[in-house]
Each structure stands twice: as structure tokens, then as C-alpha cells.
């Protein structure tokens, strides 16, 4: 019998109705066999990183339990992205939906197509803000820092992130 692994998935969109795209992705995650959504952050409107000449993003984080191994989960996330119309053109460019495995238990995975914990996680306010909301005590398995401690270490004034009030 498989033991569920605690997983965090980052969600983002900046094409079309970004908030709706993110909510649709969460609904698809809820229907994914072998994955159980346990907690969802608020949604955040976030300034683009890297490629700045694009619309702001909507981002959030899902905490879940996975019976799928990390590579199978990645394939399922990529299937959801493809079904929702994701086309990969520009690194850090616009996207209908983006689903990233941020962490997979305390595992360290370094494959050409999958790096866990996500290598940019400690540098991304748009990931750390919602991650702190769903699990402020989560610790990076390599750095040993909590999500909130990593957030505190980010330079002020970079990567504007605003919580979205959804009614």
C-alpha cells in the first residue's frame, strides 16, 4: 500500500481570465486519481519575473497528498496544462496555466525534466507568500529554512505581490 506524500504545487496564469484558469486547474487537481487537495492558498496578483513585458499573473499554492510518484505527478500536471491550452514558447513567458511541483515530501530530485524542491522557490515571492499561508512551518529539505524565513530574506520592494479578495 502506498503512503501519501505531502506535496506543494504552484499554480499560475496570465492569459485570458487568469483567476478562472487557476480555479479550473484546482478543480482538475481535485479530480486527479491518486492526488488529494488538502489546502489551497488565497490567490495573489503578481508582477512577472524574468520576462517583464507581459501581463501580471494570478498565483497560488495547493497543498496535497500524492499517491503518485513525482514523475507520474509531473506527467499528470503537464496533461492538465496541455488540456487547458498551455503552449511553451518563451521561458518565463505568458501562459494559460502553469503547474509546478514545488516540493515532494522531503525528497531531493534532480532529473533533466524535474528538479524538486523547485530550484527557484527560495527566490520567488509569488510562491513563498501563498506557501507561508498554507504551511508556514514547511522546511526546505536542503536549506533547512521555513517558507516564512525564506520570504523574510527576500529583498524588499522586488516582485510585487497583492492578495486578491475573492467574494
Q: Quick check: is 125 catalytic? A: no
Here the CATH number for the domain that contains residue 30 is 3.30.70.560
Tell which residue, 156, 166, 90, has the closest CA to residue 125.
156
Q: Quick check: is 100 catalytic? A: yes
pLDDT in tens, the chain (167 residues): 589 999 999 999 999 999 999 999 999 999 999 999 999 999 999 998 877 778 999 999 999 999 999 999 999 999 999 999 877 666 666 889 999 999 999 999 999 999 999 999 999 999 999 999 999 999 999 999 999 999 999 988 778 899 998 75
Which residue among the candidates 65, 69, 86, 139 is catalytic per the annotation? 86
> Across the chain, how many H-helices and E-strands are there?
4, 8
Count of domains for the chain = 1
Its domain, for residue 121, covers 5-163
pTM for the complete prediction? 0.93
Per-residue burial over 79-106, b = 16 or more CB atoms within 10 Å of its CB, e = otherwise: ebbeebebeeeeeeebbbbbbbbbbbbe
Residues 53 and 75: beta-carbon distance below 8 Å: no
Amino acid at each position: 500500500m502506498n503512503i501519501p506524500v505531502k506535496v506543494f504545487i504552484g499554480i499560475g496564469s496570465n492569459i485570458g481570465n487568469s483567476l478562472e484558469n487557476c480555479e479550473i486547474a484546482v478543480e482538475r487537481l481535485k479530480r486527479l486519481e491518486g492526488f488529494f487537495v488538502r489546502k489551497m492558498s488565497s490567490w495573489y496578483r503578481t508582477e512577472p519575473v524574468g520576462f517583464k513585458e507581459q501581463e501580471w499573473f494570478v498565483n497560488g499554492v495547493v497543498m496535497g497528498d500524492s499517491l503518485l510518484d513525482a514523475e507520474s505527478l509531473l506527467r499528470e500536471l503537464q496533461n492538465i496544462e496541455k488540456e487547458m491550452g498551455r503552449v511553451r514558447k518563451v521561458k518565463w513567458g505568458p501562459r494559460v496555466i502553469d503547474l509546478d511541483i514545488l516540493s515532494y515530501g522531503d525528497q531531493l530530485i534532480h532529473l533533466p525534466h524535474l528538479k524538486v524542491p523547485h530550484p527557484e522557490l527560495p527566490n520567488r515571492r509569488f510562491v513563498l507568500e501563498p506557501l507561508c499561508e498554507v504551511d508556514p512551518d514547511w522546511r526546505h529539505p536542503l536549506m533547512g529554512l521555513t517558507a516564512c524565513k525564506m520570504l523574510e530574506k527576500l529583498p524588499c520592494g522586488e516582485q510585487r505581490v497583492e492578495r486578491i479578495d475573492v467574494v
